[in-house]
Chain A
Amino acid sequence: MKWQTVLGFEVHVELSTRSKMFCGCPADHFGKPPNTQTCPVCLGLPGALPVPNAKAIEWCIKLGLALGCQINLFSKFDRKNYFYPDLPKGYQISQYDLPFCHSGSLTLSSGKIIRITRVHMEEDTGKLQHAQIDGQKVSLVDFNRSGVPLVEIVTEPDFDNTDDAMEYLKEIQLIVRTLGISSADMEKGSMRLEANISVRKGGQATLPKYKIEVKNVNSFRFVKKAIEFEVVRQIEILSAGKIPVQETRGFNETTGETFTQRLKEVANEYRYFPEPDIPPLVFTKDQISVWQSELPKLPDQKRRELTALGITAEKSGMLVADPQRLSLYEQLIDHRIPSPKAAEAAINVPGNLVDNPTAVLNWISEKTAVSVDPQIIIQTVSRVINDNPKAVSDYQAGKQASLYFLVGMVRRELGNADAGQITEELKHQL
């Protein structure tokens, strides 16, 4: 029997606003000494009240606009009630039935449309640290992250394969970075992925009656692995005539397996109700069109502009994914290098030349492609991967630039071997 994967995503992005969502504390919490960026509001002290951060709201709506969403002109915050030690108020301020943005979409390179259910605003929680003090196992709470603005982007279960999923996730990261609203750095937790995974029989039109949520995965590669593991696990259960238990699972990076974290609470036991401390928010159409007009050129538009100039879709994608090389490309154009050739050079030039257009111009004139034995390319690539674990893990965490670094390392050994060939081989081995 043929099985079909059903995937949907919830992506959390921490905004890089100056202050937190509801108080004046700095939002940049990474690597700061514990509990040094707190106040009565983000500590949930008695009597403290939230005052919403207008910049964060603007950025959330701009992200929604970039994803083609409708904007609710009348919106509000809601309380999501649950107990957890990292949640000082006993509730999270989030949005329930009137999110800022809803009903958007993102088109993949294949032309497939992924529906965006909603883009809403909420606050991040504190962070638990498990430690040992005087031989005692203790859990410590750091509230520096408490109240940091968090945007959640939710899709419909529109994916049926991991390649589309990876393309979607990377595109979200790119859009967020293009808007300049977050570093979207997964290692630092400023972009977090949750996959909703289930499996149905091929041809079945209705959604499966269960879904497994896999949480806390901090790289694109691991998300892919987690999904692949889950699909196999679920097919096994379904083939035995059973239905997987609805639950939240974590991912073990060492074993490559997912594991039970907690059984999923029944839907809506969060006792959502409108946050009485914050009046409803009303936006005008004019305000929204101003924000729409302020959006920078988005990756999709840039790619289309490049392909229109005769650059292949793949190369357009590579350029747009790498702001440094894209800027180099634009400088080469200014030096009257024809588009396809400039794109070729911007992609293939060694990493140490990327921010030196003059050197690149020389490099172009000197460059003659040398043909190299494919076997030698394979061996060299494999050696370079082994010698550069940091670059490899950076690439797997989503840093495109690391790929070019690796290409550069291979070419350092092989001279002017064809960069396209090397890139292919690197991707293959990674």
Chain B
Amino acid sequence: MSPDGPGASPDRADPPPPPIRPVARAVLGMASAISRLSRRTGFGSGSVIGGQFAVLVHRRLLSQLTAGRNVALVSGTNGKTTTNHYLARALGTRGPVATNADGANMDAGMVVALGAAPDATNATLECDELWLPEVLRQVGEAVVVLLNLSRDQLDRTQEVRAIASLWRDALATCPTRAVVANADDPLVVWAAGGALEGPGARSITWVGTGSWWTLDATGCPACGGRIRFGPPQGWSCPSCGFARPSCDLWLDGDTLCTASDETIALPLALPGRANQANAAMATAAAARFGIGTQSAVTALAGVDDIAGRYRTETVDGQQVRLLLAKNPAGWQEALEMVDSSDAPAVVSINARIADGRDPSWLWDVPFERLAGRFVVASGERRHDLAVRLGYAGVDHACASSLSEAVAVVQRHSGRHRDTVIDVIGNYTAVQDHIGEVDR
């Protein structure tokens, strides 16, 4: 794969970014004062509030803070925080990096991250799916990394397709430096294709991630026909010929392969196929910054904690590992990650606005995979989970908090004190558990 654009030379240091302009600096100063005040008064974690103030009073702040830097924007339904961490680690081999590692993925979080790293020439920003078009318009030439699109919140209909259209239109109208896209998600491929349509068509790096979630993509985004998924690793629409593009980089088991015949082992500290896909996407994006495949892989392989998730913690003497799964595709990935164990597990869901208010999707998740293990259902919607687990034939009990869940596990089988209990939860449920652990 040939790197392109500024910063492409692997052996020369990147030129420093231009200094932040006085007005922007003043706004950022006020923003961080607001954040400090908000933290001190206990009103939330703070950083986003300051950022919200900053983007409100200075409309061109994001545009100014990214000017003169090499920026990557990472978006998709699942894996954007992890991929962004991976890419930041790879870019770190070239010097300081600005990144919204905390997952604050709207413009407010981005300006805070950029303002905190004024000397970083390279920036990688996780971007909410729906904000991507607006951020693209403000940032201008960026490397756009498109991971996947799947159903996230069931009380919003047609959202997945609407987002794909927004992406496609934005890529057709905004200048981008390059697009790095998942070739195994038809919706992403269709959206990325916008980059080839607009004025000044841009090149696309296609990555074969081996996605296996196809439930949301059976309708062809190009013609409405039905996409056929079939071996070997392909998909196509018989009605219009829309099909998987050939890849520049792909996963073959635990190995990363490139079109230039490199094969590189992927010894990741994070578990699961989904994280291998995230690593492949980050590696392909890093190449657009002039970072070689092996250097990128070496740098990112050691990442083992994503904003508290995957972290192993001790709760009342019990080791637990927190895994996030926001939607059916994410749950399928998470259940695969924990498949090798027969230890008890905790599953936890809420149905707040950020999660979607309708947990019907539980019935699209193959909880049958947990059969044979003792499982504790937790979170505000634990009764929905309990019923689901019951019909899946999974031995289970309920608990209202993480520490109560741990107590239930220990009452059930004390011998598991020495093993790590996997805790899988959706968005706000995991946030609650991280809060419980940190308290």
Is chain B a partner of chain A in the same complex?
no
Hey, which bits of chain B sit against chain A, CB under 8 A?
Answer: none
| A interface residues with partner B (beta carbon < 8 Å) | none
